[in-house]
Amino acid sequence: MIRVRGIVLPDREERSFWIDGELLRTDPVPGADLVVDGGYLLPGLVDAHTHPGTERPGVPFDDATLRSHLTDHREAGVLLVRTPGSAARIPAWVDEDPDLPRVRSAGRWLATPGRFVPGYGRDVTEAELVAAAVDEARSSSGWCKVIADWEFGDPAISLGLLTEVVSAVHAVGGRVAAHCQTAEGSHNAVLAGVDSLEHGRYLDQDLLDRMVRNGTALVPTLNVMGNKIDEVRAREATPRRDWLLKGWEGAVANVRAAEEAGVLVLAGTDSFPCGTVANEVGWLIRGGMSAEAAIAGASWEARSWLGLPGLVDGAPADLVVYDVDPTLDPRVLAHPSAIILRGRVVRSRNL
């Protein structure tokens, strides 16, 4: 048996945990090996929007690539990921591998005609969408992912149809993630009561209170657009380029407004390489979120939202350790000094 001791966030109380198998325990066990002594302890980091297994359309989903991507997450201290849509269903062996992060999958992307990359997810007609959403939710970790809108000028899925999807999936105990990057798509998704709004670049801030009432989380994925925004600005002016820039400005502004309204804002990278959720936290902070709220959306709040407790007795033994408080210096989030996954030490340095 091993023991860890440090200052637990967000409570900022010094505690000790004894690791019994894959669980944290608070009752002392004499003779346990002290593998972490000091520092700041967080529940394992979370990437709430990542697509391991393939990096671009046209490239087949591959188990070796999936393992490599998940390993990259783990090495960065990301011990829980949500895959809101994938080119294939996440195979069962992932949950059985103690060396890989825990995965919450939404099955395959659900794309109706004219929305999304043909053949990259699960192509369905609008008449088939409700049944397909229920099927993906039942066949995954309880989630499904709907491409609620797509490109500049394209119509979004109607409010009526999206409401049917949400009602049917909720009826079987599932949850709905919606890809939204247009005003119409975000509007329809919020009014339909989806469980998470992915991107939400043109989200009307007047809808934030509705999101709070519905329990809809916002996953803005600033990292993926922020990393190439200068290149977009340098392009020749076109309606689509202007649409992208205005959407980016809206997405950044929405981050602070969402936090102030009480919307749960989660960190999701939607980009490669995997294991860069610390970058997304940085973007959330630059967007105006407090450091603590941004880190919570990549750790304890995100884990709770996905059904896992924080650092308490009986919780999964998934934790990361930092030399200094990451809420005071968020740059350290990318450099954990210790990582423990499912009770096994991935990295440890006696602090």
Residue 145 CA to residue 165 CA, distance in Å, equals 10
Residue 142 CA to residue 212 CA, distance in Å, equals 21
Structure tokens given for 82 = 């949500």
Residue 258 CA to residue 337 CA, distance in Å, equals 32
What are the chain's domains?
2-42+310-347 (2.30.40.10), 45-298 (3.20.20.140)
What type of residue is 326? P
Which contiguous run of DSSP H or E holds residue 202? Answer: none
Residue 200 CA to residue 194 CA, distance in Å, equals 12
Q: What is the DSSP letter of 288?
A: T
340 in Cβ contact with 317 (< 8 Å): yes
Q: What is the pLDDT of residue 88?
A: 94
Confidence of residue 351 (pLDDT cuts 50, 70, 90): very low
Residue 267 CA to residue 265 CA, distance in Å, equals 7
φ and ψ at residue 286, rounded to 5 degrees: -65, -25
- Tens of pLDDT, residues 133-166: 999 999 999 999 999 999 999 999 999 999 999 9
- Tens of pLDDT, residues 266-318: 999 999 999 999 999 999 999 999 999 999 999 999 999 999 999 999 999 99
The whole model's pTM is what?
0.97
User: Residue 327: which of 1, 12, 3 has the closest Cα?
Assistant: 12
